[in-house]
Amino acid sequence: MDIPPIRDRTVLVTGGGGFIGSHLVDALIDHNDVRVLDNFSTGDRERVHDDATVLEGDVCDRDVVERATRDVDLIFHEAAIVDVPATVDRPAETNEVNFEAGLALLEQARDEDARVVLASSAAVYGHPAELPVPETASPEPSSPYGVQKLALEEYARLYTELYDVPTVSLRYFNVYGPRQQGPYSGVISTFLEQARAGEAITVEGDGEQTRDFVHVADVVRANLLAATTDDVGDAYNVGTGTRASILELAATIRDVVGADVPIVHRAARAGDVRHSGASISKARRELGFEATIDLEAGLRDLAGEEQFGDVYEHARTILPDRERE
């Protein structure tokens, strides 16, 4: 997969102290002037590359956003409240971050003649009627989070159509990898922590629910492709095109950690999507995107058993091998 070079640009990464954002900064920093806007409420300043310019502030603060976007060429909007239950409990408050702040960024991009790559989510699909789910599937979000992401996607499309702002929205499926931590870091981090601690791996429900787990290195690749494509004003799935059940995931993590621990079950969460998996045909065709890291290799890397070797070699060209956190 060839990644067109991004060089000599002024780039803003919102949420650049977070999981995905910090890896994007690493991929861009050698040949660009990179700014990070983050309030570090969930992100970690220690993750941010020393050569990046850090603007510590809230993405909802219009004055801060105006300063951060001044004279930028390219914006990667990663800042969000990704806690789905929080959006259910506080839809209006989380809407300010997940939708209104993004709309303000689009307006700034319009003023600055900048391109915008938006982090969206598979949550826009809700409970998909077909698998793997294509972008042509009717979006029926089942949470305020999905509604917020879908609304921002629609505004991005209109900003391209009405104002010639080049935008691309990326619908992330279940992203995992180094630096994923905190209370909303996902099932892989939880299972790894349990296995390493010698605790039972706790599966919600029967474990037959499926997800499409995509490594952060491949997500970074998708972002760089989105930043250079001529196909703008559209949304693309970012996944692997392969699903794994939660039980399969738990068993694989137990194996790669080498932990002789049981897998136990507890009640399923109400409203959880039963099955989720991406069709990446459109992203492959229009962006040239292909996931390069399979789940077992990614898990072995996270468990410290491998450093990816040949599997990770291509990803290293865009995701530098900094200290793993």
Run means of pLDDT, 10 residues per run, the chain, 325 residues:
81 98 96 98 94 98 98 99 94 98 98 99 96 97 97 99 99 95 79 96 96 96 97 99 98 95 92 92 98 94 61 44 43
- Distance between CA atoms of residues 3 and 232, nearest Å: 17
The whole-angstrom separation of Cα 317 and Cα 22 is: 16
Q: Is 312 a catalytic residue?
A: no
The bridge status of strand 53-56 relative to strand 201-204 is: unpaired
Q: What angle do CA 118, 121, 123 make, to 5 degrees?
A: 150
Segments making up each domain of the chain, as ranges: 10-316
CA angle (106, 227, 6) in 5-degree steps: 125
pLDDT attached to residue 316: 44
**Of 145, 155, 159, 236, which residue is the catalytic one?**
145
pLDDT of residue 311: 34
Closest by alpha carbon to 5, among 220, 222, 169, 227? 227
Q: How far, rounded to the nearest angstrom, does the alpha carbon of residue 39 sit from its chain's CA centroid?
A: 18
From CA 111, how far away is CA 252, in angstroms rounded?
49
Q: pLDDT by residue (tens digit) across 262-316?
A: 999 999 887 788 999 999 999 999 999 999 999 999 999 888 854 444 333 444 4
**The pLDDT of residue 309:** 40
Q: If you search the block for the tokens 């995992």, which residue do you land on? A: 176
**Which amino acid belongs to residue 266?**
R
Give CA–CA dist 107/322, Å, rounded. Answer: 34
Task: Give the 3-state secondary structure of the chain.
Answer: CCCCCCCCCEEEEECCCCHHHHHHHHHHCCCCEEEEEECCCCCCHHHCCCCCEEEECCCCCHHHHHHHHCCCCEEEECCCCCCHHHHHHCHHHHHHHHHHHHHHHHHHHHHHCCEEEEEEEHHHHCCCCCCCECCCCCCCCCCHHHHHHHHHHHHHHHHHHHHCCCEEEEEECEEECCCCCCCCCCHHHHHHHHHHCCCCEEEECCCCCEECEEEHHHHHHHHHHHCCCCCCCEEEEECCCCCEEHHHHHHHHHHHHCCCCCEEEECCCCCCCCECCECCHHHHHHHCCCCCCCHHHHHHHHCCCCCCHHHHHHHHCCCCCCCCC
Q: Report how far residue 141's alpha carbon sits from residue 147's, in angstroms, rounded to the nearest whole number.
A: 6
Neighbouring-strand partners of residue 118? 77, 169
What's the pLDDT score for residue 184?
A: 58
Task: Output the pLDDT for position 3.
Answer: 67
Cβ burial 75-96 (10 Å sphere, 16+ → b, else e): bbbbbbbbbbebbeeeeeebbe
CATH 3.40.50.410 fits 10-316, yes or no: no
Per-residue pLDDT, 185: 67
User: What is the reported pTM?
Assistant: 0.93
For residues 91 and 179, give the distance between their C-alpha atoms in angstroms, rounded to a whole number.
Answer: 28
